[in-house]
A and B are shown apart, each in its own frame.
Chain A
Amino acid sequence: MTALLPRRGLAQILALIVILAVDRVVSPQFFDLRLQDGRLFGSLIDVLNRGTPVALLSLGMVLVIATRGIDLSVGAIMAISGAIAASLADSHSLAVVLAAALGAGLICGLWNGFLVAVLGMQPIVATLILMVAGRGIAQLITEGRIVTFSSPDLVWLGNGAILGVPVPVAIALGMLILTGAVVRGSALGLLIEATGGNARASELAGVGTRAMILAVYVWCGVCAALAGVIAAADIMGADANNAGLWLELDAILAVVIGGTSLFGGRFSLILAVLGALIIQTMNTGILLSGYPPEFNLLVKAVVVIAVLLLQSPKLSGVAGVVARLRRAKA
């Protein structure tokens, strides 16, 4: 675990604890847990469950950002994979449905990776193409309707439980461990960081930077597709107009809250997921608080600024100076 959890996680953990404490204040039953139909039930579970799509997105996004890239298309990929999954669910087995939906994510990722790594397009422009076109593709698949399904297998993926833990949460945890094992259990993580830190120098040093970039976009696409399947399974339908809408921004925010720089280089998977949980803890708290919805975005903005300030090296520098001055006085 030490490989996954760097020393710099303190600010994020602190932020999460503070937000959890605030949630406890606005909603006294926040930490209550009980079993409901063999599934854990409570606000904490809601946080984990609702945070799953963004957590999955951030797993792919953090790797892309580590190579100094960005992927704006993840929300659209969610819509595509959800649409495919919902369209096939009632006529095919779960294995076929998953293969088709995740395969679509893989192809989307390959497309993004091809544009960035092979054609050398700027990532923000390259992925913007699929962000716009992808939602259109999803709408074509669903013909603009909300495609519903009743296949119990796919519904289980969204609403089932393994030992009381909601399936989406278990999947996200599994993906975190898998991604962590692959990138930190080998030199892959280091090579990704090298690519992001200085692509030219890494190339000269023998790192296959193109392959690295292609691989991270593909993984990002697969993660997004999985998030899309879960989102569709959750509401037992694919809503191409709204599935994953603006979630790419939440995923980028989660990565940034997790302390990974948009300029590439060092990254932390576990802190990115923690960032996603911070965002969702805040969202759930806002919903529980009973404030008028007009305040939602304002509260969110204030909290995000506070969390980012907490991590700012300049600010901790100032705090350090103040502390030293105090000590000098005393």
Chain B
Amino acid sequence: MILKALFAASATAALLLALPANAAELTIGFSQIGSESGWRAAETSVSKQEATKRKVNLKIADAQQKQENQIKAIRSFIAQNVDAIFLAPVVSTGWDSVLKEAKEAKIPVVLLDRDIDPSGKELYLTAVTSDSVHEGEVAGDWLAKTVGAKACNIVELQGTVGASVAANRKKGFDAAIAKHANLKVVRSQTGDFTRAKGKEVMESFIKAEGGGKSICAVYAHNDDMMVGAIQAMKEAGLKPGKDILTVSIDAVPDIFKAMVAGEANATVELTPNMAGPALDAIAAFKDKGTVPPKWIQTDSKLYTPTDDPQKIYDSKKGLGY
């Protein structure tokens, strides 16, 4: 009798334990922009990993940079009656009508990586994005701390002129170093976020600053430009990472390779894991009805050579960067 009761109790317990797991088997549609950059490819593969980890069935639709494809994908997700929709919007406007359709179908929408126009705020559950101003601040703070009280002339490789990320990363960095009178940006030019332009611009910086002698640090708005700049410094007979400090943003695998070689000093991660926090928010919303904050800010983690760059390189290189 006791045995029977025990058995029944344990069976109930097992059932209870199993229940949330069953409920968590969600189907989520993800309208991805495309694969225009290595980071985007990494975001897609990390999203798949995070979904598998949580036993979520993630359907990814590649929009190939076109908003109409994204709208089509969202409509088809609504027709399939998915549990939630993730959207990495290619542009910030023009989403009102399709998001209204999702709202009417009671399917929560989570924005990944990019925000949309303020008029549509009530049309989505939450946005998981990085704060690019904060990324610039983290980079600036690291440099200020590393340099200390010494005077330091900084050259800056900006992103594409007019890109909001470039403007924000500049703003954050400028704000961080404004507190330190010994830090000064002496030259700032655009490297269009590319290796080739980063190298070319750094070459000119080196020449304009007396062969690089008066440059104390380089700040690049992304790692790719820094990889190019590192080559330019080496070709000029300078030792990047030692003669000239480097700090950049994104944390792509190749910058960790440079760190292993002692040629890069710091990078701030733009995490490709936007889906993880989004999946957690959706799970909490579905299970307990917890409404997440309108904006979930991802971590802007700083990496330096003390963080075992080889290991990070190995873990990142398979992600499609």
Q: Which residues of A contact B (CB under 8 A)?
A: 27, 29, 32, 36-37, 39, 41-43, 46, 50, 139, 143-146, 148, 159, 231, 234-237, 239, 241-243, 284, 287-288, 290, 292-294, 296
Contacts and interface: CB of A to CB of B under 8 A. Distances in A.
A145 B188 CA distance: 27
Contacts of A234: 196, 199
B236 A287 contact: no
A46 B207 contact: yes
Given A143-B320, A144-B41, A235 B207 contact: no
Contact of B320 (A27, A145, A236, A292): A145
A155 to B, nearest CB: 10
Contact of B38 (A145, A231, A243, A288): A145
Contacts of A139: 35
Contact of B188 (A46, A235, A243, A292): A292
B43 to A, nearest CB: 12
B190 A296 contact: yes
| Majority secondary structure of chain B interface residues (helix, strand, loop or mixed) | helix
Contacts of A43: 204, 207
A239 B194 contact: yes
A146 B252 CA distance: 11
A143 to B, nearest CB: 7
A243 B224 CA distance: 13
29 contacts: A29-B208, A36-B237, A37-B237, A39-B235, A41-B237, A42-B207, A43-B204, A43-B207, A46-B203, A46-B207, A50-B200, A144-B35, A146-B321, A234-B199, A235-B195, A235-B196, A235-B199, A235-B228, A236-B231, A239-B195, A241-B36, A284-B204, A287-B204, A288-B204, A293-B161, A293-B189, A293-B190, A296-B161, A296-B190
Nearest to A30: B207
A170 B203 CA distance: 20
A231 B195 CA distance: 10
Interface residues of B, number: 35
Given A234-B196, A239-B195, A293 B158 contact: yes
A243 B192 CA distance: 12
B236 A41 contact: yes
Contacts of A143: 41, 320
A243 B196 contact: yes
A143 B37 CA distance: 10
- Which of A27, A235, A239 is packed against the most chain B CB atoms within 10 Å? A235
B201 interface: yes
A293 B188 contact: yes
Contacts of B231: 159, 235-236
B187 interface: yes
A57 to B, nearest CB: 15
B18 to A, nearest CB: 40
Interface of B: 35-38, 40-41, 158, 161, 187-190, 192, 194-196, 199-201, 203-205, 207-208, 210, 224, 227-228, 231, 235-237, 254, 320-321
Contact of B207 (A37, A288, A294): A288
Contacts of A146: 38, 195, 224, 254, 321
Nearest to A235: B195
Contacts of B204: 43, 46, 284, 287-288
Contact of A231 (B196, B205, B224, B320): B196
Contact of A242 (B196, B205, B236, B254): B196
A152 B227 CA distance: 18
Contacts of B161: 293-294, 296
B207 A144 contact: no
B231 to A, nearest CB: 7
**Which are the 4 A-B pairs with shortest beta-carbon distances?**
A287-B204, A293-B190, A235-B195, A242-B194
Contacts of B196: 231, 234-235, 239, 242-243
Nearest to B42: A145
A145 B318 CA distance: 11
Contacts of B41: 143-145
A159 B233 CA distance: 13
Contacts of A284: 204
Contacts of A27: 207-208
Contacts of A293: 158, 161, 188-190
